[in-house]
Amino acid sequence: MIEALRNRRFTAYILTAACADAGYWIATIAQSWLVLTLTDSALWLGLVAGVGQLPYLLFSLVGGSIADRFDRRAIIALNNTGIAVISLVTAALIFTHTITIVSLLILSFALGTIFAIEQPVDRAWLYDLVDRKLLDTSIALSSLEWAVARTIGPALGGAAVAFIGIAAGYVAFAVLVMPLTVLALVLAKRHARAPEDAASDDRNANRERAIVAFSAFIATFSIGVTPYITLLPEIAKHTFGADARGFGALAAAGGVGAILSAVTLALAGDLRHRGRITAICALVGALLLVAFTRVHRFDVALVLLAAMGAVDTLMYALANTYVQAIASAARRGWANAVFSLAFLGGMPIGSVLLGSLAQRFGSASVLALSGCLVALSAIGFLTFAPRARDAA
């Protein structure tokens, strides 16, 4: 872990990305509470989140193509500037009391489009910054950064909404993405790394088929489990009687578990059987979601969410490393785009679907059924997809 942090370029990236990701979570808390304030509806929570995530389905592959063709630093800088502008426009509408659910949908889609294009570019840029032998540790540290942001961001977001106002969450996001923007502008382009071992066309084709099959499995988790975050404000309010601070605490609990998981993974270094472990994590995460829907005590819910955060982080870090490890240099942007399409593109489907069903049948019942289905999917992947399971 220390060796990876000695890379000043990578360390600068981790610190500035942590600021941007904390801002993202602050804005996410603000958006969720804004939707609940405007509509008091689980359906609208799902719809707004789904519209914001829909661009991952539409534009992830575009982002992969951009990552393989253009200067990744310039794209990162341009995208984060766009995020800051859209966030400030949203804050202004909230401050002037002119925000509507329709305008929020439009702004959410605009932000989601930037995120969808940037995700594969960012993952490919991360690979540019590190040495291949430190890939596992570097991605684990990146996951740790995300986990810290996931812990601090919701807590700050809940406090900001409660004591300052919803607009403050969007202003914070605009400010916190700027350090990463500056870094992308000033960081010198790295000299080309040594050529990777050449692989035959057949081997590359097999690798790409494994990436597609693996990503399809990841999509089941994104559709069936990850959208619990979208429904969390409704659960916080109606199941636990919590306000914005309570919602922020529930959201932050997952970050605590994520930090512990990411630190453990960073210390562990290179792991084998990434595909197999990822599937086991998906199974455990799905079962934890089912357990979460059965509890009515706030403290027990915090513990379960912390466990879910730990498992989710381990799963994401290993899945990301799986893709990076077997992707070819020429198609690294494409590989990260396919993974983003699955991991993040599944969220709008799940958010809209589960939000719609939760409006009619209740969040707890819908999430419990969804968790059971994802658990069956994980068992199926472990049993019937040996080539994709054991590719990395």
The upper half-sphere exposure of residue 390, i.e. CA atoms within 13 Å in the direction of its Cβ, equals 5
Q: What is the pLDDT of residues 210-240, one digit of tens each?
A: 999 999 999 999 999 988 887 888 888 888 8
- Structure-block tokens of residue 33: 């509470």
What's the confidence (pLDDT) of residue 191? 46
Query: 171: closest CA among 115, 97, 93, 245?
Result: 93
pLDDT value at residue 4: 62
**Complete domains list, the chain, with CATH:** 2-189+200-389 (1.20.1250.20)
- Confidence at residue 329, expressed as pLDDT on a 0 to 100 scale: 75
Q: Could you report the average pLDDT of every consecutive run of 10 residues in the chain (392 residues)?
A: 71 90 89 86 80 85 85 90 95 91 92 90 80 73 80 78 85 93 78 51 81 93 88 84 82 83 78 89 95 92 93 87 82 85 82 84 91 96 91 78
